[in-house]
Structure 1
Amino acid sequence: MISRICVLATASVLLALTACGSSEPKREIPEGIPPGPGTEVPLIDFNAPGRTADLLLAWAEPQTDALGISVTALASYGHAAAIMTETDPDCGIAWTTLAGIGYIESRHGTYQGSSVQPDGLVAPPIRGIPLDGGPGVAEIPDTDGGVMDGDAEFDRAMGPMQFIPETWKKWGVDANGDGIADPDNIDDAALTAARYLCARGGDLRTAQGWETALMAYNLSGQYLRDVRDRAAAYSVGTRP
């Protein structure tokens, strides 16, 4: 391997040799739970007109390349966490946890070629497999007549955060001010996930609270570890 060097000289006299162009060392990803909160989300006016997550685009843009999250999706996660800080300060949910879930569930709304539009809508819609009781799959007969998930026989998980219709009907919330609680909109889905996790786990700044919340979201130790690994990486500005 040949190292690159910068040579600083005046006339024929060599003054200095300085190593340059070296890559930044890989950041160490913290262990343990809960994962860190990541970069602080600035205060915004949640009562402003339009999609208030757009007020966090300037916060999200400098981080998007390092994290591998689109600016729209990252703003949604920050927006949801910031709303919960204001409405349920005892929960302490961080955007990093929501981003960890968003990656595992749908690759931040990009699974199988879907993409997140500027208004937060994920298109084409992401749908899970039929929950028909097959190997390793829970059996959940249809609860919505196929209206929400497109399947009138069995329920399917929906959207970037993968809610089943029954859960969405109970917890779904409009986060972008369009008057519709839409599981296919990442703003709505992220805030719904945050509300659900806070209700299930209590104080997510504690190990017990965070673990309880994640196990309520998906009863799997491997799922918990996968989300933790992603969230912990995001907390230090990188990805696994």
Structure 2
Amino acid sequence: MSPHSRHGLAVTLSLVVAVVASACSYGPTRQAPTPIPPGIPPGPGAPVPAVDLDAPGRTSDQLRPWAAGINEQMNIPVAALAAYGNAAETMRQTRPECNLAWTTLAGIGHVETRHGRYRGASLNDDGYALPPIIGVKLDGSPGFAEIPDTDGGALDGDTEHDRAVGPMQFIPESWAKYGRDADGDGRADPNQIDDAAVAAARLLCERGGDLSQAENWQRAVLAYNASREYVMDVRDAAAAYSVGTTAP
């Protein structure tokens, strides 16, 4: 190669470097994803407006404007987010010492059924997961507990073994203890997200106590599902929601 050609190559390379540098300096930039905070318990997230729990009808409807203002960035259905907020506010007014944040309920809802969207289901206007979400038969198969039927198949359609039911995946035995009517229709139904979220809140508060304490928060979530991996999955999702971003 002659000295002339080497000089031409050097000029060309210099131009390429200049163009790339210019593009990096002045071209469009991508916003870095919001980092998920570490630690337990996860943060409380966006403050929930006060709810009049004595108002007639479905009290979570009072939170729909709040939910509609923040749900898209977290990919949570409005009905689900309003239900989580309603359940957290219910505990704030009735069991303030529990310190339950809606983000924890949302973390559980994400891990359990993607907020009522498992396998093509969705929440209708009344907050029901359709088609109903029924878990696997709890017959002691590898990876699953063995729980003989406790409700005659009334909730899960199985008269031999219990199955988890609804968007928050309650087994019938637990539903009999924690289930409550939260949507004002006069009956407690694990397939309805308002009822299921309040039931989950009651379970967590009873089993954990003050959930602002790391040990108590972990104990409460373990009571929901006795798996350390599950606890961390819920933590990661709840922590993401605490800063208004999607769960990992």
TM superposition score normalised by structure 1? 0.91
> How far apart are the structure 1 equivalents of 2:57 and 2:171?
28
Give the deviation of 1:23 after TM superposition. 3.5
Q: Does 1:169 align with 2:176?
A: yes
Give the deviation of 1:226 after TM superposition. 0.3
Cα distance 1:22–1:195, how it changes in 2: closer, same or farther (>3 A)?
same
Q: Does 1:207 align with 2:214?
A: yes
> How far apart are the structure 2 equivalents of 1:35 and 1:120?
26
Q: Which residue of 2 aligns with 1:113?
A: 120
Unpaired runs of 5+ in structure 1?
A: 6-17
Give the deviation of 1:49 after TM superposition. 2.0
Aligned Cα root-mean-square deviation (Å): 1.7
Farther off after superposition, 23-32 or 95-104: 23-32
Give the % identical residues. Answer: 58
Q: Which residue of 1 aligns with 2:245?
A: 238
Q: Which residue of 1 aligns with 2:105?
A: 98
Q: Which residue of 2 aligns with 1:151?
A: 158
> How far apart are the structure 1 equivalents of 2:192 and 2:59?
14
1:47 pairs with 51, 54, 71, which one?
A: 54
Give the deviation of 1:24 after TM superposition. 2.8
Q: Does 1:198 align with 2:205?
A: yes
Q: Does 1:179 align with 2:193?
A: no
Deviations 1:192-223 (A, max 9, x none): 00000000000001101101101111110000
In the alignment of these two chains, the number of paired residues is 228
Deviations 1:79-127 (A, max 9, x none): 1001100000000000000000001111100101111112111111100
> How far apart are the structure 1 equivalents of 2:245 and 2:23?
26
> How far apart are the structure 1 equivalents of 2:148 and 2:113?
23
Q: Which has more strand, going by share of residues?
A: 1
Counterpart residue identity of residue 200, structure 1: R
Q: Which has more helix, going by share of residues?
A: 2
TM superposition score normalised by structure 2? 0.88
Other structure's SS at 1:41 match: coil
Structure 1 stretches (4+) deviating beyond 6 angstroms? 1-5
Larger radius of gyration: 2
> How far apart are the structure 2 equivalents of 1:111 and 1:20?
40
2:137 pairs with 125, 130, 135, which one?
A: 130
Counterpart residue identity of residue 148, structure 2: P
Q: Does 1:160 align with 2:167?
A: yes
